[in-house]
Amino acid sequence: MTRSAKQNLPQPRTDLAFFLDVDGTLLPIAETPAEVSPSVAVCALLAKLSIASGGALALISGRSLKELDRLLCKQHFPAAGQHGSERRDARGEMTRNQPQLAALDMLRDFMRDLADSDVRLLLEDKGLSLALHYRRAPECGPALMAKLQHALSEYPELSLQPGKMVLEVRPSGVSKAHAVQAFMSEPPFMQRIPVFIGDDVTDEDGFAMVNQLGGISIKVGSGNSVAHYRFADIDAVLNWLMACSTSMSAQMGKSNAQS
């Protein structure tokens, strides 16, 4: 059971490393992914928090890195896109998980046919993963899940990742947990306390990894979760991140003045 963020959330400190989901966590979810627009205020907050944390801030999202950069005002933060299928470290170096592209190509036509069967469905091709959105047709979810599970039975190198009104096919062996683990082995994240904030079932493995590392896992919104803490909504997330940024900046200023 998650604890109340208002009652028990740890106070900001200078040795935190931030891992943040985007849709539903920093920005509101829209009917389609393309309808989500950048927020200047959120971009400014993340830039400030990144500086205050010594660069230990990374985005962990199902979106592609290209889309993340668009949504965050073309600020190239460290990030893991497509649930960890692609990753950009703090030095700007890229890694991509591509061995499953042949299998993904086989599923592409099948998923395109599914999307074409109902104008309310949307297929999002991210290159290393495929997402079938059914937000405009929620009643289709169970049938789409069954069809994709059956199709994927022939492709063990691919996995099905359900989310909020979306079914995503991605390479097996990649996850937000693996992305967090990779970042935590590198500067400036290593030897810090990880904080993971997310809103969806796709974030649960990230929560579990942060719990394993002795960090702070925070679920946004309702629903069962392995996260230890909870925020009610996006505003609560942004308010807490602002408090962290302000507190960390003040503490760093005091340290610099004393040195």
Distance, CA of 96 to CA of 118 (rounded, Å):
32
**H helical segments located in the chain:** 5-8, 40-52, 65-71, 101-116, 141-152, 176-184, 204-212, 234-258
Phi, then psi, of 176 in degrees rounded to 5: -65, -30
Q: Could you read off the pLDDT of 54-104 as tens digits, one per residue?
A: 999 999 999 999 999 999 989 999 999 999 999 999 999 999 876 667 888
Is the confidence at residue 6, as pLDDT, over 60?
A: no
- Are 20 and 147 members of one domain? no
- Are 106 and 13 members of one domain? no
Per the structure, the count of domains in the chain is 2
What does DSSP assign to residue 97?
-
- Are 49 and 163 members of one domain? no
- Are 67 and 195 members of one domain? yes
- Are 139 and 195 members of one domain? no
pLDDT grade, residue 258 (50/70/90)?
low
* Listed residues 121, 137, 171: the one ending a domain: 171
SS3 201: helix
* Listed residues 149, 171, 193: the one ending a domain: 171
**CA 165 vs CA 29, 50, 126: distances in Å:** 11, 31, 17
- Are 136 and 11 members of one domain? no
Q: Could you read off the pLDDT of 201-242 as tens digits, one per residue?
A: 999 999 999 999 999 999 999 999 999 999 999 999 999 999
Q: Judge whether 212 and 228 are in contact, CB under 8 Å.
A: no
- Are 189 and 122 members of one domain? no
- Are 244 and 178 members of one domain? yes
Mean pLDDT of 148-169: 93
Catalytic residue among 15, 21, 105, 109: 21
- Are 79 and 142 members of one domain? no
Please give the single-letter amino acid code of residue 228.
Answer: H
Which pTM does this prediction carry?
A: 0.90
Q: What is the pLDDT of residue 1?
A: 43
Please give the single-letter amino acid code of residue 209.
Answer: M
- Is 69 a residue of the active site? no
SS3 104: helix
Give the range of the structural domain holding residue 107, as residue numbers without chain letter.
101-171
